[in-house]
Amino acid sequence: MPGPSNTLLIEGSFEELADELSHYIDEVKRKQGDNNTAVQTEITPLLEKNQKDDVLKKLVTGSAVLNSAPEKEIIAAYNLLVHLIRQSSNPNMFLPRICQNLSNPITSSPTNGTGLALSVLTTIFNILPQDNDVRYHVFLAILRVIRSSGSFELLRPQLKNLDTWITQWETDEEDQRKLYLSIAEVAEEASGEEEQSYLYLLRALRTIPSEEAASAEARQLSARALKSALSYPTHFDFQDLTSLDSIQALRKSDPILFELLDIFNAQVLDDYNDFKDEHDDFLSSQSLSDDTLTRKMRLLTLASLAASTQSRSLPYQHISRALQIPSEDTEIWVIDTIRAGLVEGKLSQLNQTFLVHRSTYRVFGEKQWTEVQGRLDTWRASLEGVLGVVRAEREKMVRERERELREVEGRVNGAQGMGMGAGRGRREIDVGGLMD
């Protein structure tokens, strides 16, 4: 896979190496039963005239046969061809054809063909300057090879470099969209990579300009992304879709599909069931699984129920009725909703209630603002009550302290008065004694 830039070193002059490669191509052709055209014969006069690009045209045209060369010789043969192409005044003219060849199956090595093709493509990618836009075409070829093998793990480490590469290549929106879609398709073919597929499909949608939001391509991609989001079992937040102009354009072009999006974005299980009754065959016509959607809708319904309750305590009976499930299955569905990250809370088997600690608002509009205002009013009233109790206790404490201080002052004043009276009596006695 792509890595740091490197150098391809092969000894020999252009003429010698071109003659050697043409001879090898002819040999492979003969082994395949093709004796019609000899590349070596065609390039000999061109080499004498030093017409390198014309020589390379012949070699590149004949290089498709290298995919049927012996397994141990394929990489060396392609590396030699790449080395010769680099000596052209316009190597970018030839490399896309080589990438196309390598995107096709390596017929001589069904088992190791993917690794052989990736090895050569990686070499081409790494010897090109970082800002060379031919790297874009090489990377697309790498994606095609990986897709054919279903080996998404080979691609994953390189995705962190994607934004940097796009900037270096100065890729326009159309080419970015093509690249994102290619990655989405690679992920879609791999097992367990539905989330990656959806994320890159979403990135492709974001490259569509607003003025093209209602185009045929935008409609096709939007419907594909929407159905992917609906089908992906752990995708519950649809705000990433509803914010896109191309998705909003489905309101006119595909009103039934948009209605389904609206249900999963903000409504509950009853609404989904009404939708199915009204549009009986719609889900099957769109290759959507009712079992998958019903399960997701139940989880979302419980999330909405938890977010809208004022008391933060949900009786099992309310949950089972809203989710249309047997009462004995209530705890299982609550646990599944907690695992999905939509709510947090504590189950009480004794009280048959679910105490909500945290819930997720699926949308945040006028209704949700009203609910928040109601809760804030409740909290305000509760806090005012607490504040009133605290204020009353404080005033009571102040009064008690004042009373205690008055009592202490009274006792102190009384004691001081008694002391002064005793002193005056003694002075009178003393005076009387002097008079005697």
Global model pTM greater than 0.75: yes
pLDDT of amino acid 418: 58
Beta strands 313-315 and 353-359 are: antiparallel
Amino acid identity for residue 2 in this structure? P
- Token pair belonging to 64: 């498709």
Beta carbons of 197 and 228 less than 8 angstroms apart? yes
SS3 for 41?
A: helix
Q: Please report the pLDDT score of residue 360 as a whole number.
A: 78
Token pair of 9 as six digits: 């070193």
Reported residue count of the chain is: 436
* Per-residue pLDDT tens listing for the chain (436 residues): 565 445 555 778 999 999 999 999 999 999 888 777 789 999 999 999 999 999 999 999 999 999 999 999 999 999 999 999 999 989 999 999 999 999 999 999 999 999 999 999 999 999 999 999 999 999 999 999 999 888 899 899 999 999 999 999 999 999 999 999 999 999 998 888 989 999 999 999 999 999 999 999 999 999 999 999 999 999 999 988 999 999 999 999 999 999 999 999 999 999 999 999 999 999 999 999 999 999 999 999 999 999 888 788 999 999 999 999 999 999 999 999 999 999 999 999 999 999 999 987 776 555 555 655 665 666 677 787 788 888 888 888 888 888 888 877 777 777 666 555 554 444 443 434 333 3
- Residue 127, Cβ neighbours under 10 Å: how many? 17
| Confidence (pLDDT) at 385 | 77
pLDDT at residue number 32: 84
- Evaluate whether 29 touches 67 at the Cβ level (below 8 Å): no
DSSP 349: T
Cβ(3)–Cβ(122) below 8 Å? yes
Confirm if 59 and 21 have CB atoms less than 8 A apart. Answer: yes
Q: What is the pLDDT of residue 283?
A: 96
- CA atoms of 347 and 351, how far apart (whole Å): 9
pLDDT of residue 6: 53
Question: CA angle 46-51-54, nearest 5°?
Answer: 80
Residue ranges of the alpha helices (H) in 279-365? 282-285, 290-308, 316-323, 330-339
